[in-house]
Structure 1
Amino acid sequence: MDTDLGPTGTETLCDVCTTELDRFSKAGALADRELSLLRQPKRRINVNIPVRMDDGSIEVFPSFRIQYNSARGPTKGGIRYHPSVNADEVDELAFLMSLKCAVANIPFGGAKGGIQVDPGELSEGELERLSRAYVKEYHENLGPNTDIPAPDVNTDSRIMAWMRDEYESITGRQTPGVITGKPVELGGSEGREYATSLGGAVILDRFVDDVGMTREKTTVAIQGFGNVGSHLARFLHDRGYDVVAVSNVDGGAYDSNGLDVTALFETSEGGDDIFEFGAEEISNAALLTLDVDVLIPAAIENQITENNMTDIRADVVLEMANGPTTARADTHLAEREIPVIPDILANAGGVTASYFEWVQNTTNEYWTEKTVREKLTAHLRGAYDDLREIKTAPEMTRTWREAAYTRAVESVLRAEGYRSNVEG
């Protein structure tokens, strides 16, 4: 079902999107006029995908693609495979992608996709058939100048390679820019694997320098030691930060004197246990309440909530996961003057690197890893500086999230205004 939602659309709105926009509108951070453009997605597509399994049976997998807003350019966003994927979740993530692209100042709109599946229960052949089937169902709504998918939870460069190949088989054209996060051999960008993490380190560096903290004396706890969290721990360790705690789905490791990040990273890369280094074992919940300088939720959404917000003891929160802090908890932390550097800035390194990959694909000019890192660092420093200017404007006191939403929504509304009679 392809539902094109305009101003008269009757589909259920994204509750989180409405809540967030209303919150900032009431706080005076954003004018309420024309925010209806961002309270619902432009297009919501869902398809139940039948796949033949290895035993000959047919299973049907619900799937989604939400193209939230395309005023600033082609929509962009990852595809996740997870048993809990649903339309509301994908709506919220596409909304955040729309804002993130504007905050990062890249010429994309926001989208997101997903399939309701546990990929761990599929064989490689079943996984490939499902991935190719997704493209078969959605290819008319995808394209390098229309909507550009990328990896997300439980998807990777291998799956992106299958998807690119399927799209090109259908269209009969070489189109590397239709998908980002591909293997380098198929037009992927150098440095893409760790770009989200590098971006987070760049943003934290900028913040630490701004407030006069010293990296060597800054303690850090990272919830989530997957691709983003593990690479981020390595980058921060190399910069001199004191990483004292990390965790994965099995629990956490804590050492007040600092963890052996190099050994932990090598262990996680090999898929081994991270609890073999003499550190104290703690729970994910306990990690969130450690008395550290910087708390980094880098796992999944809704980790800092009304149930634990009063127990947060960090001096600053850097959101590397999407939506790890609920609206109520965010307000509570603001009242306690605990800065929260929001996900749409903190983890924008990934979509920025995806943009770089798209640029390389469309120009057929490919960059070295050193060039990618230099461009990513400069780009995100600029994004941080833009938000700092908004946040510290004398006429209004804003949190980092309010500054980010203000920057993003004003940018989208200006783009809408240039395209139509909407006043920006």
Structure 2
Amino acid sequence: MMTVEEVLSSNLYTQQVKKLYKVGDILGLHADQLEALATPERVIQVKIQVQSNDGKIKTFTGWRSQHNSALGPYKGGVRYHPNVTQDEVIALSMIMTWKNSLLQLPYGGGKAGIRIDPKMLTRTEIEMLSRNFIDALYKYIGSDIDIPAPDVNTDSQIMAWFLDEYNKVSGKIDPGAFTGKPIELGGLSVREYSTGLGVAHVTKLASEKFMDGVEEKKIIIQGFGNLSTYTAKFLSEMGAKVVGISDSKGGVLNYEGINVDKALELKRATGSVINYPGKQVSNDELLVSECDILIPGALENVINKFNAPKVKAKLIVEGANGPLTADADSILRERGIPVVPDILANSGGVVGSYVEWANNKMGEIIEEEEAKKLILNRMERAFNEMYSKYNKLGDQDLRSAAMIVAVERVVKAMKTRGLI
């Protein structure tokens, strides 16, 4: 029998459709228009085979969902995870459509995933897996078609293998076909930390609207991967006090404040943050612990109808994609707890990817500080647009305001093209 958590994590697509239909009702969209918006333009399923050192053939399944191209080529990451499903990949590609639209990037939404536990493969096998994935997909990607990037359990090295294999099998030299690449292959150093930088910046902007700023505020961050680590670092530099962090093995609370660099050193040395001085808690306990700002930055659907009534934070910023269910949205709205949605909060990564892609297209002319400024300015503009819509609506939450802005742009583009 599936646990509650498994059930909730298995229907991310259903949750995203619920959120879309809520916004569609506000915008007065017809059922056929909503169906067109909810349905991906193309979903590609591929079989990927890897030969291990002992000669055995391992077979894995992967997907690429190309959700919507009304605003431009598909854009979104590739994740390697044992729980990846086709529905999850489609849902995440839909989120990318709204995210790119909200940030006024010239992209549609895409996402890919391979159902695999990368910890069970050697480095050589991961390289073979990555190259074989591109062999199966190369006809459907490119800098003007679909631009993959890193996501869960993928990084700049995997993007390097992707690019090299793509160049070989396509016969093209197209560095803009992938983002999040190593600097030597046309990547930008800002891309490494741009998602965490964006989450921290949006948290600062929201705290200025809903409380008296971020300084000295107690912050809990679920997760301690790339995104959450950089988020914690930047927020600490802003004067906030990180009091709770976690990884897959559990979490730790320390209301004296957590030194992010020391926690990172400890995680590297011991494999987990739970050994940091403080009170050890489960991830579930962490989400409902005392704090000013909660940043769920790991998995989807972790805040739901079961624990949303127990959340003690005064502000939630979605670091991960889809960490709140539609039911949780309603409960938190009734409780008066603002939620900054994922399509804005964690968009620093795709804005960083946009800067990298544009730099590749123009011939490598952007410096790091200029790139950083472009990312922060683009996110601040989107935040102000969302907040203005939120105030104008009066009776809606921040997610609805952000999605109204995003969906409206996609609808206008599709109508202009004659697609709906």
TM norm. shorter chain > 0.5: yes
CA distance in 2 between counterparts of 1:73 and 1:16 reads: 25
Deviation (angstroms), 1:322: 0.7
User: Any idea what SS the aligned residue of 1:307 has?
Assistant: coil
Is the contact between residue 244 and residue 257 of structure 1 (CA under 8 Å) also seen in structure 2? yes
Is the contact between residue 230 and residue 268 of structure 1 (CA under 8 Å) also seen in structure 2? no
Deviation (angstroms), 1:367: 2.1
Deviation (angstroms), 1:368: 2.1
More helix by share: 2
Is the contact between residue 186 and residue 364 of structure 2 (CA under 8 Å) also seen in structure 1? no
Is the contact between residue 29 and residue 398 of structure 1 (CA under 8 Å) also seen in structure 2? no
Deviation (angstroms), 1:277: 4.2
Deviation (angstroms), 1:265: 3.2
Structure 1 stretches lacking a partner, 5+ long: 1-12
Aligned to 1:88: 87
**169-178 or 277-286: which moved more?**
277-286
Deviation (angstroms), 1:270: 5.7
Deviation (angstroms), 1:396: 4.4
Structure 2 stretches lacking a partner, 5+ long: 1-11
Is the contact between residue 225 and residue 247 of structure 1 (CA under 8 Å) also seen in structure 2? yes
Answer yes or no: is 1:303 the counterpart of 2:318.
Answer: no
**1:201-224, CA deviations, whole angstroms, 9 ceiling, x for partnerless residues?**
111111122234132231100000
Answer yes or no: is 1:243 the counterpart of 2:214.
Answer: no
Aligned to 1:6: none
Is the contact between residue 251 and residue 280 of structure 2 (CA under 8 Å) also seen in structure 1? yes
- The alignment yields a C-alpha RMSD, in angstroms, of 1.8
**1:236-260, CA deviations, whole angstroms, 9 ceiling, x for partnerless residues?**
0000001111111111111112122
CA distance in 1 between counterparts of 2:372 and 2:238 reads: 15
User: Any idea what SS the aligned residue of 1:281 has?
Assistant: strand
The amino acid that maps onto 1:113 is A
Aligned to 2:389: 390
The amino acid that maps onto 1:352 is V
Given candidates 397, 404, 411, the residue that maps to 1:406 is 404
CA distance in 1 between counterparts of 2:309 and 2:211 reads: 26
CA distance in 2 between counterparts of 1:369 and 1:255 reads: 34
TM-score (norm 1): 0.93
Deviation (angstroms), 1:266: 3.7
- What pairs up with 1:343-382 in 2 under 5 angstroms? 343-382=342-381
Aligned to 2:175: 176
Deviation (angstroms), 1:20: 2.0
The amino acid that maps onto 1:40 is T
User: Any idea what SS the aligned residue of 2:189 has?
Assistant: coil
Is the contact between residue 14 and residue 39 of structure 1 (CA under 8 Å) also seen in structure 2? no
Deviation (angstroms), 1:340: 0.6
CA distance in 1 between counterparts of 2:275 and 2:13 reads: 43
**342-351 or 28-37: which moved more?**
28-37
**157-166 or 357-366: which moved more?**
357-366
The amino acid that maps onto 1:220 is I
Answer yes or no: is 1:195 the counterpart of 2:194.
Answer: yes
CA distance in 2 between counterparts of 1:29 and 1:210 reads: 26
- Identical pairs, percent: 39
Deviation (angstroms), 1:269: 5.5
- What pairs up with 1:27-176 in 2 under 5 angstroms? 28=26, 31-32=29-30, 34-176=33-175
Deviation (angstroms), 1:414: 0.9
Cα–Cα, structure 1 residues 421 and 226, in superposed 2: closer, same or farther, change >3 Å? Answer: closer
Deviation (angstroms), 1:383: 0.7
CA distance in 2 between counterparts of 1:181 and 1:32 reads: 38
- What pairs up with 1:275-286 in 2 under 5 angstroms? 275-286=274-285
Is the contact between residue 266 and residue 275 of structure 2 (CA under 8 Å) also seen in structure 1? no
